[in-house]
Structure 1
Amino acid sequence: MQDPSVEMRGIVKKFGSVTASDQVDFSANAGEIHALLGENGAGKSTVMSMLSGVYRADEGEILLHGQPAKIRSPKDAALLGVGMVFQNFRLVQSLTAAENIVLGEKSSFWRGSKWIKNKHKEIEGLAEQFGLKFPVDRPIWQLSVGEQQRVEIVKTLYRGAEIIILDEPTSVLTPGEVEQLFATLQVMKQAGKTVIMTTHKMKEVMASSDRISVMRKGKMIATLATAETDELELARLMVGREVEITRQEREAAAGDPLLIVNNLEVAADHGRKALDGLSLKVCEGEIVGVAGVAGNGQKELAEVLTGLRTWKNGEIIFDGEPVKSASVRGAIDSGISHVPENRMKSGLAGRLGSVDNLLFKSYRSSDHSRFGFLKAAKNRSWSQELVERFNVKTPELDTPVQQLSGGNQQKLLFAREVSRQPKLMVAVHPTQGLDVGAAAGVHELLMELRGTGSGVLLISEDLDELLQLSDRILVIYNGSIIGESDHEHADRENIGLLMAGIRNKEASAI
């Protein structure tokens, strides 16, 4: 049996009093796709950061191809053949794809046109070899998200990486692009590369990997052959308990129309049209999912409905009354709750504790204040009840929420929004970056809202999530709804085609 191309033994990493990685052993072989799973805070990203040189281990050793390796920086890792493709791309938007790939080569930008032409051919050949075609002479800002990821992967291959780490590689891709990526991973595998992939998406792990390692609370729990396990076992290993991850079955419960949007036109920040004649409807007791690749108007749709953005043309009718102008206070008072895409940027105040964050939308009510003064003792007791009800794990109520895990931040945000008993919940990527256990908790909250008669508009790029939860799925492309399907007849392939703007007979019919 061949020696592993990567072997990490007894790896320990501490951040102050927190042990992020506790005597972790990990190995991966050449010609293997190895998935690394774990909840937020489990330590998997820390381990991969030590392999790629972002962090240095406090204890333990790393061996590459059987030889001890000193990895003190990303440069050391690159020289040893280790490359990492981050979830948030490291690309210069104003430079071309080729310029990004050769960036950092000695004297790369003053050489002549012949050298540049040869580099273009070299990069195009490498991209074609691994099924990663993209226009090499086009600026990054003109490329799609999927094409930008291909540039990042080719950049890693161009620099000689034999060990390639992919951080949440499918989080920004359409289903079709995911299939293309998996085909590329198979080519890498056949070429003898070692591919290590971190992800939260069970179906994709099962579809693409050869082996799976699971971490929990800083420790390595198990390493399994993919062919010998299943999603339920992996979920149990990740969170230490049984987790329901099957598609939610339900009886039809939709009531009267709650939200009606007709021919809405909205401008984006830079002036172009973000929503172009968009129409949709959400009924009481219904979850309506909106599927689409980032940048097709989802952000602007959520902002309009929650009073954060004005609209040019069209009408919005909520709870039987026309909405005449954009007003955050008006949206709150009318019963619209909002879970934004970036919880720490526009949902929570990171430096404040749980009490203050829970009060943001209700501090004016007589339950929480009198004559302009907050009822401190009562508000603290109320906050404690919400923290316990929603199982928010925080050392103290006054602990800054930026110190909580992503899952606990999201549960706190939901606690505030759900406690208001909203008529409509606008939830944008509510489980983005969450592990399977935390995501399951969020899904339960959305289903509970549906059960109480609230309407839910679920905007997500996670097709599995939409298929699991939605009564109806709408597909948004270039600011318009171009397809619709109910829960029973939703088809992954057709929805994926529409997300990419491709219409065929079947897709057009949904």
Structure 2
Amino acid sequence: MDDVIRLENIVKVYPPSVIAVDNVSVNFRKGEIHAVVGENGAGKSTLMKVLYGLVPRDAGEIYYQNQPVHFRQAGEAIAAGIGMVHQEILLIPEYTVWENIVLGQEPTRLLGQIDRAKARRLVKGKIDEFQFNLDPDALVGEISVAARQKVEILKLLYRNVSVLILDEPTAVLTPQEIPQLFAELGRLRDDGHTILFISHRLEEVLTLSDRVTVMRRGKMIATVDAKSTTKEELARMMVGRDVVLTSRRAAHSAGGVIFQIDHLSYKDGEGRQRLNDINLSVHAGEIVGVAGVEGNGQFELVNSVVGLIKPSTGKIQVQDKDITNAAILERRKLISFVPQDRGKMGASLNASIMENAIMTHHQLDKRFSLWHGLLLNYAHARRFTDGLEKQFSVSMASKFNPFRSLSGGNQQKVILGRELLLDSVFVLLDQPTRGLDVGSIEYVHEQILKMRQEDRAVLLVSADLEELFLLADRIVVMHRGELVADKPIEETTLEEIGYLMLEGKGKAQ
């Protein structure tokens, strides 16, 4: 099989001395699906951005169809036949499918007017050619996340790219949507397209790809045939040690109710019902997982609990204390909270690591204050941060460096450590492993199971069903703002939960 792309001795250094890609050489073949995997900071995304022209390389050569190329921007790569679908979907919700696909490259009539009929016909032809099962006239704002992802791919196919780079293509899909995407990507491969994809989900990597390239700390460790390796071997190459990929949730008896929601409802500012009569409880020593396609009320549920939005009706209790109308700081005396967005809600990226580590503690723990709260006790803050660094295995150069200097995994360790060191028996985790590599995920899972053993009550919101099945004692499913199922983990399957996520209650058998 011929090489369509060769990367030779690629180097990328971020000043002053961070080597993101360290002398990497790899080839991608025509008509193959090739996965690139590695921990956060391993260099895989940077390598793909160098190929795509988003990041300039410092050394090395790129050969495309046996010719040296040096793309200075993404438009040059697309014109040459290489396209990239990013994890963040960038479409216009008010436009139709076909309008989004042709945007920027519309067919025109003699006087420069857009030929709408021809544009729609061309898009319909691409949909039929690649069997993508899309309605060209549907508004993008009204279709599923999986369908939007197909629109992004079709935007590139419409521009006649032959190489597709996909960044975490299944991150926001349900189990039912993934096989269809894989089938469509398989047809593209069989049609001669080359597909490169970045993923953390090793089982999917082995299911979809023909070959897998593993990176660690900027270096290429190996390229292997997917059929001749295993999840465990890939994880070992990624991390440099054995990684536990199976559930270690031991039998544990749950105690009394710690967290309870009764008849919670919420309407947004436009009068739309976002939460509808939610009833939910979590016991001491229990992990309850919240599953649902994104946008079905999970965000509003979390924000209601932590006090960022006020519910229309209902009651929220922690340890029999009504916090429905409590101030955020009063809630934080009872709730440890790890938000889904580390940069916007979980931390201040420009503040120091120490300042982020002591957040909330400095208001609830008198040892952090001097002169009746007028001054911060820096000595205690330093000791606290040093203890967090050691206890949660945070890799940092200096506690005084900005928080943004940490890798994603280490940022999450700081936030998780900060919250677990609060004296609270209820823990709310919203997508705690999103964007993390396999080694960091293993660590976070260990901490979550440790909370359970300590008889803390854990509410875990996750878009990753496999994660919920590894950790949760019960799974509740949200669909259009309602809880449509509450099932012990032993009495359900991943397929049933996925079906309920898509269809709602009363449909799964």
Range of TM-score over shorter length: over 0.9
Structure 1 partner of 2:10: 11
2:397 equivalent among 385, 395, 398: 395
Structure 1 partner of 2:416: 414
Structure 2 partner of 1:79: 79
Structure 1 partner of 2:31: 31
Following superposition of structure 1 onto structure 2, how do residues 221-236 of structure 1 map, counting pairs within 5 Å?
Answer: 221-236=221-236
Tell me the distance in 1 between the aligned counterparts of 2:271 and 2:380.
Answer: 46
2:384 equivalent among 369, 382, 385: 382
**Post-superposition CA distance 1:423-444 (Å, at most 9, x none):** 1110000000000011111111
Q: Secondary structure at 1:303's aligned position in 2?
A: helix
The one-letter amino acid paired with 2:352 is G
**Post-superposition CA distance 1:13-61 (Å, at most 9, x none):** 1111211111111111122111100111111011111111112222111
Deviation, structure 1 residue 209: 0.9
Instruction: State the number of aligned residues.
Output: 504
Tell me the distance in 2 between the aligned counterparts of 1:382 and 1:316.
Answer: 32
Deviation, structure 1 residue 320: 2.0
Tell me the distance in 2 between the aligned counterparts of 1:117 and 1:28.
Answer: 38
The one-letter amino acid paired with 1:162 is S
Q: Secondary structure at 1:290's aligned position in 2?
A: strand
Tell me the distance in 2 between the aligned counterparts of 1:153 and 1:27.
Answer: 23
Tell me the distance in 2 between the aligned counterparts of 1:319 and 1:108.
Answer: 65
Structure 1 partner of 2:284: 284
Q: Secondary structure at 1:26's aligned position in 2?
A: strand
Deviation, structure 1 residue 111: 5.4
Following superposition of structure 1 onto structure 2, how do residues 435-454 of structure 1 map, counting pairs within 5 Å?
Answer: 435-454=437-456
Tell me the distance in 1 between the aligned counterparts of 2:270 and 2:108.
Answer: 33
Tell me the distance in 1 between the aligned counterparts of 2:404 and 2:440.
Answer: 17
**Post-superposition CA distance 1:51-87 (Å, at most 9, x none):** 1111222211111222222322212211211010111
Please tell me whether the aligned partners of residues 339 and 429 of structure 2 are also in contact (alpha carbons under 8 angstroms): yes
Please tell me whether the aligned partners of residues 28 and 34 of structure 2 are also in contact (alpha carbons under 8 angstroms): yes
Deviation, structure 1 residue 399: 0.6
The one-letter amino acid paired with 2:426 is L
Percent identical: 38
Please tell me whether the aligned partners of residues 166 and 195 of structure 1 are also in contact (alpha carbons under 8 angstroms): yes
**Post-superposition CA distance 1:380-433 (Å, at most 9, x none):** 112111111111111111111011111111000011100013211100000000
Deviation, structure 1 residue 269: 5.2
Deviation, structure 1 residue 503: 5.3
Deviation, structure 1 residue 96: 2.4
Which sections of structure 2, spanning at least 5 residues, go unmatched? none
The one-letter amino acid paired with 1:416 is R
Q: Secondary structure at 2:127's aligned position in 1?
A: helix
Please tell me whether the aligned partners of residues 53 and 70 of structure 2 are also in contact (alpha carbons under 8 angstroms): no
Tell me the distance in 2 between the aligned counterparts of 1:175 and 1:269.
Answer: 33
Q: Secondary structure at 1:117's aligned position in 2?
A: helix
The one-letter amino acid paired with 1:354 is I
Please tell me whether the aligned partners of residues 102 and 108 of structure 1 are also in contact (alpha carbons under 8 angstroms): no
Structure 2 partner of 1:160: 160
Structure 2 partner of 1:359: 358
Please tell me whether the aligned partners of residues 107 and 118 of structure 2 are also in contact (alpha carbons under 8 angstroms): no
The one-letter amino acid paired with 1:313 is T
Deviation, structure 1 residue 107: 6.6
Please tell me whether the aligned partners of residues 39 and 438 of structure 2 are also in contact (alpha carbons under 8 angstroms): yes
Deviation, structure 1 residue 270: 4.4
Tell me the distance in 1 between the aligned counterparts of 2:6 and 2:326.
Answer: 56
Please tell me whether the aligned partners of residues 296 and 477 of structure 1 are also in contact (alpha carbons under 8 angstroms): yes
Tell me the distance in 1 between the aligned counterparts of 2:505 and 2:324.
Answer: 35
Structure 2 partner of 1:94: 94
Deviates more, 1:366-375 or 1:298-307: 366-375
Deviation, structure 1 residue 138: 3.3
Q: Does 1:336 align with 2:338?
A: no
Q: Does 1:151 align with 2:151?
A: yes
Please tell me whether the aligned partners of residues 475 and 488 of structure 2 are also in contact (alpha carbons under 8 angstroms): yes
Tell me the distance in 2 between the aligned counterparts of 1:161 and 1:473.
Answer: 42
Q: Secondary structure at 1:153's aligned position in 2?
A: helix
Tell me the distance in 2 between the aligned counterparts of 1:431 and 1:413.
Answer: 12
Q: TM-score, normalised by structure 2?
A: 0.95
Following superposition of structure 1 onto structure 2, how do residues 19-418 of structure 1 map, counting pairs within 5 Å?
Answer: 19-105=19-105, 108=108, 115-268=115-268, 270-333=270-333, 335-364=334-363, 365-370=365-370, 371-372=372-373, 373-418=375-420
Deviation, structure 1 residue 324: 4.0
The one-letter amino acid paired with 2:347 is L
Task: Give the alignment's Cα RMSD to 1 decimal.
Answer: 1.7
Please tell me whether the aligned partners of residues 89 and 149 of structure 2 are also in contact (alpha carbons under 8 angstroms): yes
Tell me the distance in 2 between the aligned counterparts of 1:308 and 1:438.
Answer: 29
Deviation, structure 1 residue 327: 2.1
**Post-superposition CA distance 1:227-268 (Å, at most 9, x none):** 111111111111111111112332032111111212210123
1:476 equivalent among 475, 478, 492: 478
Tell me the distance in 2 between the aligned counterparts of 1:130 and 1:3.
Answer: 23
